[in-house]
Chain A
Amino acid sequence: MDILSSLMDGFATALTPMNLLYALIGVLLGTAVGVLPGIGPAMTVALLLPVAMVLEPTSAFIMFAGIYYGGMYGGSTTSILLNTPGESSSVITAIEGNRMAKAGKAAQALATAAIGSFVAGTIGTALLVVFTPIVVEFAVSLGSPSYFAIMVLALLAVTAVLGASRLRGFASLGLGLAIGLVGIDSVSGQRRLTFGQPLLADGLDIVVIAVAIFAVGEALWVAAHLRRTPLQIIPVGRPWMGKQDWKRSWKPWLRGTAFGFPFGALPAGGAEIPTFLSYVTEKRLSKHPEEFGKGAIEGVAGPEAANNAAAAGTLTPMLALGLPTNATAAVMLAAFTQFGIQPGPLLFENEGPLVWALIASLFIGNTLLLLVNLPLAPVWAKLLRLPRPYLYAGILFFATLGAYSVNLQAFDLVILLVVGALGFMMRRFGLPVLPLILGLILGPRIEKQLRQTLQLSAGDVSGLWSEPIAVVVYIIVALVLAWPLLFKAWRRMRPRTAVAVGGGTVAAGPAAGGPTAERPTAERTTAVSPGQAAAADGKTTDANTADATPANHGQEKS
């Protein structure tokens, strides 16, 4: 009952006209950046951090929550209409949804994605309400050793599990931790990595680094590889669903939610795996398995629900433990620190009204998103006609403005450019950016826990595993790190099963999308006979349907 009354108080705060306005702004902004190429919710929240500092923290987080959920809605619109997934978790939507759209069912694909996202987001948020206090209750009983272990687990799990190359993940993590070291050590007062520069003594501003990595790095990277051939968008009216579509969608929505939430809540679950699992499941359970790969509505409904439920799940460790597991959550966590709010198990106790207002605003934002997205989908699609020079110049402009306005010193802009160049290099050579941001944000907190732990045990290393929970967590850490070796061994022992299982998942995954099919070349000279033309036509259509641009491995659109 206590939870319920807190939540009601949260609704009371979130429903004030001012906060409703911020929720609406967040939802609109989020959808817009979700639709636009090259810009995503994490980048947007990072760009807004400096501006948001003058707001009431509650209003700022209500806006951020709207952006977080809104980005997902907007992303599915482009995936379906353009077949360009902005992140790995919308690859499936892009494949199946785009084929539905090509078959003239764009309205239904958009509708099942939007309504499914609403259903999953609402159930996911409800699960968040139920589970987060339980996790908090458990977490406040933990001492420094366990908390240290859990943070290590979160960091290593994100680094080792998400992303294509573990080695490159760890390299990125190391860079993030190193950036986090810069500045005066709060315990001993020693200057680390400041090189006698007084400007570095306060450390590097998280806002500046986040803006540099997400906005500057991304804008430079896209500018270097701008898509030259214009794409054709599938024209669509107002999304709607028929009775048959509802009948085929509601079960996948619920099953997708069931897959998505727990994976999102895990330290390294992410949103990618549950979307694949949901797709495979729907294909197996469907009465129309032959439609899969040609535009089955279940193949859009399930994965989209899984995607959104995972987004809600991600907020559980973020709010209960102060552990972010995706880029947007990481930047939101940085926002807590900027406001002087200590994230972690005590957040609910110290900042109860804020947290409950944030959770209430998730319900509100979800409803607003449905209202904004169902009738307005064609309008959102128009955003794609924005000339890209303005889009990317605008990103650089606002990145500069935001980073400069934090301390009003040009030196921060130098940092912005250098770290932006680092972000460019990481994208070029396949270093994931998420571990860097997590290392930067969690590094100082991990160090603090480590020192507290060993202070309690008077320098005795065994203090690290003095609590049973800590021991359990370290075993999990060991399993996560050893997983590839174990998997290899298991595969060798039982080659057939492994191949069957692996094959099943993979075939449903990116492989079904196939490699990036050839796009029409920039300048094309056609002079073909009718016969050849027909053949070429068949081939092109085929290539186009199989043409899902492979997403960034394990990374989201920032």
Chain B
Amino acid sequence: MSIIVGYVPTAEGTAALDRAISEAHKSQSRLVIINSSRGDAIVDKRYAQAQDINEVTERLEKEGIDHLVLQPVRGNDVASEVLEAADKYRAELIVIGLRKRTPVGKLIMGSTAQQILLEASCPVLAVKAGA
């Protein structure tokens, strides 16, 4: 069993990670960190660079959590990557960060969070930044 966290190098991503770490401490499960990009634009600020990932792993080492960091770039959207990993690593919980969105913006853009909520076969914990 494991806990899956969708990580992005932003405030809400860090919030999700914080929460996932405390959940992992509680259940003593393995933490699987997913940071993915569709890779369709040359620049994607939601794709973590090496330095970021190193900081994350360093922190997890310090806290003594069994962990795995995945950064798939295969043209799939982030939601499918998270769901696929949840499947593969038999997730007991998925933790995601939520962005503030206006209802209209959400109507146009669709939502990664929504897709994960609807399609996941395990509980999903949605965390907001600064909460």
A residues with CB within 8 A of B: 37, 82, 84, 227-233, 381, 384-389, 520, 522-530, 533-534, 536-537, 540-541, 544
Kindly provide the distance from the CB of A245 to the nearest chain B CB, expressed in whole angstroms.
Answer: 26
The interface residues of chain A lying within 8 Å CB-to-CB of B39 are: 228-230
Beyond A230-B47, A530-B58, is A522–B74 a contact (Cβ under 8 Å)?
Answer: yes
| B61, B67, B72, B74: most-surrounded residue (chain A CB, <10 A) | B61
Contact B51 A537 (CB under 8 A): yes
Q: What would be 17 A-B contacts, judged by CB atoms less than 8 Å apart?
A: A229-B39, A230-B37, A231-B42, A231-B44, A232-B47, A387-B40, A523-B70, A523-B71, A524-B69, A524-B70, A524-B71, A525-B68, A525-B69, A525-B70, A526-B57, A527-B69, A537-B54
Beyond A522-B73, A523-B73, is A536–B40 a contact (Cβ under 8 Å)?
Answer: no
Beyond A387-B41, A525-B69, is A232–B61 a contact (Cβ under 8 Å)?
Answer: no
Contact A544 B42 (CB under 8 A): no
Contact A385 B43 (CB under 8 A): yes
The interface residues of chain A lying within 8 Å CB-to-CB of B61 are: 528-530, 533
> Within the complex, which residue of A232, A381, A388, A528 is in contact with B57, where a contact is CB–CB below 8 Å?
A528
Does B62 make an interface contact (CB < 8 A)? yes
> Within the complex, which residue of B37, B43, B58 is in contact with A384, where a contact is CB–CB below 8 Å?
B43
> Within the complex, which residue of A384, A534, A537, A544 is in contact with B41, where a contact is CB–CB below 8 Å?
A384
Contact A541 B51 (CB under 8 A): yes
Closest to A530 in B: B61
Does B118 make an interface contact (CB < 8 A)? no
Beyond A523-B70, A530-B61, is A388–B41 a contact (Cβ under 8 Å)?
Answer: yes
Contact A386 B54 (CB under 8 A): no
Can you list the 7 inter-chain pairs with the closest CB atoms, starting with the nearest?
A230-B44, A540-B50, A384-B43, A526-B69, A230-B47, A387-B40, A537-B54
The interface residues of chain A lying within 8 Å CB-to-CB of B62 are: 530
The interface residues of chain B lying within 8 Å CB-to-CB of A227 are: 42
Does B116 make an interface contact (CB < 8 A)? no
Bound state CA distance, A425 and B62, in angstroms?
A: 52
Contact B70 A544 (CB under 8 A): no
The interface residues of chain B lying within 8 Å CB-to-CB of A37 are: 42
The interface residues of chain B lying within 8 Å CB-to-CB of A540 are: 50-51, 54
The interface residues of chain B lying within 8 Å CB-to-CB of A385 are: 41, 43-44
Contact A520 B58 (CB under 8 A): no
Bound state CA distance, A544 and B53, in angstroms?
A: 15
Task: Count B-side interface residues using an 8 Å CB cutoff.
Answer: 27
Total of A-B residue pairs, C-beta within 8 Å: 93
Contact B58 A230 (CB under 8 A): no
| A37, A233, A523, A526: most-surrounded residue (chain B CB, <10 A) | A526
Beyond A384-B42, A385-B44, is A522–B72 a contact (Cβ under 8 Å)?
Answer: yes
Kindly provide the distance from the CB of A491 to the nearest chain B CB, expressed in whole angstroms.
Answer: 41
Does B114 make an interface contact (CB < 8 A)? no
Contact B45 A533 (CB under 8 A): no
Contact B53 A229 (CB under 8 A): no
Bound state CA distance, A525 and B72, in angstroms?
A: 10
Bound state CA distance, A530 and B62, in angstroms?
A: 7
Contact B70 A230 (CB under 8 A): no
| B47, B54, B62: most-surrounded residue (chain A CB, <10 A) | B54
Bound state CA distance, A520 and B58, in angstroms?
A: 18
Which of chain B's residues 8-63 have a Cβ closer than 8 Å to chain A? 37-45, 47, 49-51, 53-54, 57-58, 61-62
Kindly provide the distance from the CB of A102 to the nearest chain B CB, expressed in whole angstroms.
Answer: 11
> Within the complex, which residue of A387, A523, A533 is in contact with B58, where a contact is CB–CB below 8 Å?
A533
| B41, B44, B70: most-surrounded residue (chain A CB, <10 A) | B41
Contact A536 B45 (CB under 8 A): no
The interface residues of chain A lying within 8 Å CB-to-CB of B67 are: 527
Bound state CA distance, A167 and B42, in angstroms?
A: 34
Contact A229 B73 (CB under 8 A): yes
Kindly provide the distance from the CB of A378 to the nearest chain B CB, expressed in whole angstroms.
Answer: 13
Contact A524 B44 (CB under 8 A): no
Bound state CA distance, A533 and B49, in angstroms?
A: 14
Bound state CA distance, A232 and B101, in angstroms?
A: 24
Bound state CA distance, A386 and B72, in angstroms?
A: 20
In the complex, given contacts A229-B47, A537-B51, what are 6 additional A-B residue pairs having Cβ atoms less than 8 angstroms apart? A232-B49, A384-B41, A389-B40, A520-B49, A520-B71, A525-B69
